[in-house]
Structures are given as structure tokens and as C-alpha cells.
Amino acid sequence: MNPSNGQPSWAKSLQKSHSNNEQLEFWRYVSVAYISSKTNFPENEMIKFRSFHHKENQSFLLFTLDRRSNLFQDLEKSAQVEFCWFFPLTREKYRIKSTLSAFYKAKYAEGSEKQQVLSLEDLKDCWNKYVDKEEKKLFTELHPDTKTTETNAKKIDDINDFNTPEVGEVSQNFAIILAEVIEVEHTKFALPQVVADSRHPKFESLFSPYKVTTKYLHRLTNKETAQWEIFPLNP
């Protein structure tokens, strides 16, 4: 599941942004815009990024969700979505247009044609690699996005008090969303000329040379050969 050497330039830039912002706990959370399957209204939600997935000429962002959640139900029915990712430390914004594919344990029994993109072994690897012990419990607990009653609240307390062991088998409710990237707009906002530096005494700042805001558009022009068109935009 590691990025390949031939990964597109936007992926390299995004990885660099991750590295420069990883000290922030919320750097993995990205906003996703989609159309609700129930109301047909546009909606947005935060979703946790797990990893890149590159296979042959395709580049994906990998996310994990509970199949029972409203977000998964909507994303599974969405042909295309747009992600918006902001990195405050480096003042960068990514708008990422993608097509989606959903993978979960039961789907492999259905003989899905998309199994070649993500195998059942990949699903197991993600379950063990990206989902910690506490998160695994959530996939066997109460149905997400449903009304909490006093009885349900008591069940949650009982589960936490009992401290159930880590689940080794992949939950039927565990699902992976693969977003195949087709367009990326990357904006790097100008940094302030004077920036605070924690290595210096309080209130002392460092002068930073003037930099302008830059914006580039990366667009997939040939999926078969993984050809990307890259050109600058006016900010």
C-alpha cells in the first residue's frame, strides 16, 4: 500500500504537506462534499485519511468507515465527490476531485468486478494496520447515527467496563473507501513576512522574504498511461 516510485507530482506534494503538518493531531482529517442520497441536498463531513494506495496507473486516497454510518451510505452511492484539505502550518489548500469505490468483507462474496483494485488481503491488512483496539470495538457496538436511548447508553457503559479484547477478525461493518484522484487544485498561500519562532526569546520574530500565493491545477488527461496535465492558475 506504499506509494510507488512513479507516483504523480500532486501525491508527492501532498505527502510533503502531511510531513510538515503531522505534529497537528487533526492533520489526517479532510472535508468531503457529496450529495445526500436521502435528501438530494449537498452535504459535507470530515473523514479520516488513512493512506495512499497506488496500483499500476491509478492513484487513490484510502479511508475507513463503518458500513452502517450515514456517511458511508451516501458515499457508496456517490459517483464523484470533492475533498478539501487545509494544512495550517504551511498554509496550503488542496481541492481534490475523485471517483469512489467501496470495499467490505461481504462484497467479495458477491464477486465484485473491482476486486483487482483492492484484495481481501488488503482489507485485512488495513483492519490490522489502521484500526486500533478501541476503534475496532466501535464496529461491534451500537449502530452509528441512530438515536441513543437509556438502554443503549447502558450497553455502551457495559462494553467499556468489560474492556473487550481486541477483535482479530475483520468486522462485517468495516469498510474501505477508495477515492481515485482525477483532479487536484493545490494552493500555497503566502506566508507572513514576519513569523514567530519558538527557538527565540518571547515576542522575538524572524523576517521571512516576501512570497506570493501560488496555485496549480493537476488534471488527469489519460487514465491508461497516467498522464497528468499541470499548469499554473491565478490565485
List, run by run, the mean pLDDT of 10-residue segments along the chain (235 residues). 66 94 92 91 94 87 95 92 95 96 83 69 92 87 76 55 60 94 96 59 53 92 91 94
Longest distance between any two alpha carbons in the chain, whole Å: 63
What pLDDT, on a 0 to 100 scale, did the predictor assign at position 37?
85
CATH fold of 9-233: Pnp Oxidase; Chain A (2.30.110)
pLDDT at 194: 58
Do 188 and 16 touch, CB atoms closer than 8 A?
A: no
Report pLDDT for 199: 56
The pLDDT value given to residue 140: 83
Helices (H), ranges, the chain = 9-21, 70-76, 120-130, 133-138, 150-162
pLDDT of residue 1: 45
At 86 the pLDDT is: 96
pTM above 0.85, yes or no: no
For residue 124, with 0-12 CB atoms within 10 Å meaning exposed, 13-18 middle and 19 or more buried, which class applies? middle
Distance CA(158)–CA(67), nearest Å, equals: 23
- pLDDT score at 138: 86
β-pair type (58-66, 174-188): antiparallel
Q: Which residues have a Cβ under 8 Å from the Cβ of 116 and sit 6 or more positions away?
A: none
Which pLDDT does position 94 carry in this prediction?
98
Coil, strand or helix at 86: strand
